């Protein structure tokens, strides 16, 4: 009979501690990504059987989790990538994933999916915003719940979030360092807490550089519509020298509208956005933006849900994921200073 491979066997092969092997296989903090990948590769080569697989072979049912989001959220490519990362992470731990979208009627009537209402799942991951009341209804079931890219003071649940304030701060700081002080803001801050936080990061950067924000250039209720954005630009009495946009869709509309009115990007005006999505990459010129590690979202969401299963009485956690500024051709030094 073949001897079962243990964590100690893997540790001996790699000349590291058993604890490091355990941390790597369970995707916990304490080891580098390089070591984590090496341990997992070695475990696979040696035929190590993960605990989830052993439990399944003994007849213990796998953990079941639900992933839900609004119809609109599931239609967006940005969240589609997060959904795929959640799916991959759940499958890697032998979990079964139930996926369902929530339409407006279900949201308004607080109708939960049957597998949540009947408590047929062990955990719930909510992708982006549905409504505070709807998410509260999920939390009331007592099923451990993790929010992804959304939080609210009245929702008692763990959450994985982007550090929106710092990301926006760094983006606006980049514009300020290029000697722009007339910087416009565009984004509907009431649509999402993420946009509100990016607005706060914008204001904080201006404050730290001693720049007073101009309300004429602050479009805090902006719809993501090209006609609306073009109207804002056309009606301005004086044009700002730079624009900070809360997402790449708005950045794309701002950039194309500015050029339609005869302004050169970036010689006359700079444009910076957020998310590093496809629109920022296909725009002409390509748009400077803030990158978010979407794969990390799924990984941390599943990790946080597994941690909550083991620590049901611990205080709720909010995990902040860092961002990175991607400098492209849409930003340049202010020529009008």
Q: Given this structure, which CATH class describes domain 162-290?
A: alpha beta
CATH 3.40.50.2300, domain 62-161+293-321, yes or no: yes
Distance CA 191, CA 188 (A): 6
Taking CA atoms, 234 is separated from 42, 111, 255, 270, 287, in Å, by 61, 44, 13, 17, 21
Q: What is the pLDDT of residue 1?
A: 45
Edge-to-edge strand list for the sheet holding 96-102: 96-102, 64-70, 123-127, 145-148, 158-162, 318-321
**pTM of the shown model:** 0.78
Q: What is the pLDDT of residue 60?
A: 65
Q: What is the pLDDT of residue 321?
A: 95
DSSP state of 18: H
Q: What is the pLDDT of residue 50?
A: 60
Residue ranges for the chain with pLDDT beneath 70:
1-3, 28-29, 50-60
Domain with CATH 3.40.50.2300 in the chain: 62-161+293-321, 162-290
Q: What is the pLDDT of residue 119?
A: 92
């Amino acid at each position: 009979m073949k001897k079962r491979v243990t964590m100690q066997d893997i540790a001996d092969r790699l000349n590291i501690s058993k604890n490091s092997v355990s941390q790597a296989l369970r995707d916990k903090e304490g080891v580098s990504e390089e070591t984590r990948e090496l341990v997992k590769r070695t475990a696979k080569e040696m035929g190590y059987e993960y605990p989830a697989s052993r439990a399944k072979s003994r007849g213990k049912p796998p953990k079941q989790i639900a992933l839900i989001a609004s119809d609109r959220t599931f239609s967006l490519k940005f969240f589609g990538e997060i959904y795929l990362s959640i799916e991959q992470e759940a499958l890697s731990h032998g979990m079964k994933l139930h996926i369902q979208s929530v339409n407006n009627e279900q949201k308004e009537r607080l109708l939960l999916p049957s597998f949540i209402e009947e408590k047929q799942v062990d955990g719930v991951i909510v992708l982006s915003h549905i409504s505070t009341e709807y998410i509260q209804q999920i939390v009331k079931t007592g099923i451990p719940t993790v929010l992804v890219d959304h939080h609210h003071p009245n929702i008692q649940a763990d959450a994985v979030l982007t550090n929106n304030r710092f990301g926006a701060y760094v983006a606006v700081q980049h514009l300020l360092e290029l000697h722009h002080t007339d910087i416009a803001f565009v984004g509907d801050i009431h649509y999402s807490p993420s946009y509100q936080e990016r607005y706060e990061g914008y204001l904080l950067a201006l404050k730290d550089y001693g720049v007073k924000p101009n309300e004429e250039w602050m479009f805090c209720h902006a719809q993501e519509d090209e006609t609306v954005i073009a109207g804002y630009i056309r009606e301005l009495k004086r044009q700002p020298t730079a624009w900070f946009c809360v997402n790449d869709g708005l950045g794309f509309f701002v950039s194309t509208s500015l050029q339609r009115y005869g302004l050169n990007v970036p010689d006359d005006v700079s444009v910076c956005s957020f998310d590093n999505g496809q629109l920022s990459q296909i725009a002409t010129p390509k748009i400077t933006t803030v990158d978010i590690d979407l794969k990390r979202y799924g990984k941390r969401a599943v990790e946080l849900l597994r941690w909550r299963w083991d620590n049901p009485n611990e205080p709720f956690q909010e995990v902040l994921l860092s961002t990175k500024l991607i400098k492209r051709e849409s930003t340049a030094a202010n020529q009008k200073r």
